[in-house]
């Protein structure tokens, strides 16, 4: 079964944008995912990453494996989801939304603390997200969100520019460890991109790939198009503290002048 989002393959028929139907389809996806074994792996990996990221004192570290404590620390996480896609018409995006809600529930992260944005969302889709209790952003941040507290980013199959912008905005030994990303493997991106272009256009991913920690997430074969090539990516302070100061010294804003097929929708600029 092919589940990739494509506006050609999945015409955005108006009845599918009707909120109650979309909500019903979403609930079906969530019930289905709940019965799958692999989602428990996602839950565990997120909780462990969150616990490591939020633990400050050695006493916290000793308590890392206490489930109650882990969940308590998760509640302090903020969540940002970019690039979910048109989930009213795209089955893949709908499953990804269902997984996001399961993860928020597992971590007891309040739904209002999860902000979602995709420039392709229809007004019906924005209504559904609000009905679910999520916060819908109105501004295209281009992924350039400055993190002030531990934050879980959910970027499923997003363009490299979105990840690169996010890394740029938080490019410091203090900022990066605050982020937990569930998204495409940086190692996979490096393998699939011509080295010269990867270093030139996506310099922040290209550098981060050497010191970030990636834990591959399980994906069953029948949902390969939805959840493949996904990892929990973290930036442990201890690996960052050993890096030379020059790592952080020059960090120009990404421009992408040479990128032929930029997989990001940029902010509309007023003329």
Ligand X SMILES: C[S@@+](CC[C@H](N)C(=O)[O-])C[C@H]1O[C@@H](n2cnc3c(N)ncnc32)[C@H](O)[C@@H]1O
Residues at the contact surface with ligand X, assessed by CB under 6 A: 4-5, 82-85, 92-93, 96, 117-120, 140, 142, 156-159, 162, 264-265
Residue 61 or residue 192: which is nearer to ligand X going by CB? 192
Residue 17 or residue 177: which is nearer to ligand X going by CB? 17
Residue 46 or residue 155: which is nearer to ligand X going by CB? 155
| Cβ at position 45, least distance to ligand X in Å | 19
Residue 5 or residue 46: which is nearer to ligand X going by CB? 5
Q: Are 25 and 125 in contact (CB under 8 A)?
A: no
Residue 33 or residue 70: which is nearer to ligand X going by CB? 33
| CA terminus-to-terminus distance, the chain | 45
| Cβ at position 266, least distance to ligand X in Å | 7
Bridge partners of residue 166, in order along the sequence: none
| Cβ at position 158, least distance to ligand X in Å | 5
Q: Are 113 and 45 in contact (CB under 8 A)?
A: no
| Cβ at position 267, least distance to ligand X in Å | 8
* CA 173 remoteness from chain centre: 20
Q: How far apart are CA 248 and CA 173, in angstroms?
A: 8
Helix segments in the chain, DSSP class H: 19-34, 38-54, 58-62, 67-74, 91-106, 123-132, 160-169, 186-192, 195-201, 203-208, 224-227, 237-241, 246-249
| Cβ at position 137, least distance to ligand X in Å | 9
């Amino acid at each position: 079964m092919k589940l990739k989002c494509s506006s050609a393959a999945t015409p955005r028929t108006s009845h599918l944008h009707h909120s109650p139907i979309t909500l019903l389809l979403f609930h079906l996806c969530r019930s289905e995912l709940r019965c799958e074994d692999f989602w428990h792996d996602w839950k565990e990996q997120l909780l462990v990453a969150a616990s490591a990221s939020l633990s400050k004192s050695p006493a916290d570290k000793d308590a890392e494996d206490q489930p109650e404590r882990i969940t308590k620390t998760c509640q302090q996480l903020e969540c940002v989801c970019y690039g979910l896609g048109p989930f009213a018409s795209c089955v893949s995006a709908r499953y990804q939304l269902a997984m996001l809600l399961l993860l928020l529930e597992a971590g007891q992260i309040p739904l209002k603390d999860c902000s979602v944005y995709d420039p392709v969302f229809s007004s019906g889709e924005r209504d559904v997200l609000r009905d679910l209790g999520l916060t819908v952003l109105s501004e295209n941040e281009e992924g350039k969100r400055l993190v002030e507290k531990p934050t879980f980013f959910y970027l499923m199959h997003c363009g490299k520019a979105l990840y690169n912008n996010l890394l740029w905005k938080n490019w410091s030994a203090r900022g990066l460890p605050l982020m937990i990303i569930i998204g495409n493997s940086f190692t996979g991106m490096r393998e699939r991109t011509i080295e010269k272009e990867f270093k030139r256009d996506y310099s922040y991913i290209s550098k981060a790939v050497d010191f970030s920690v990636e834990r591959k997430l399980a994906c069953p074969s029948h949902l390969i198009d939805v959840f493949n090539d996904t990892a929990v990516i973290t930036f442990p302070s201890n690996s960052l503290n050993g890096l030379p100061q020059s790592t952080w010294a020059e960090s120009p804003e990404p421009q992408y002048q040479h990128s032929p097929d930029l997989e990001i929708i940029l902010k509309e600029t007023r003329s």
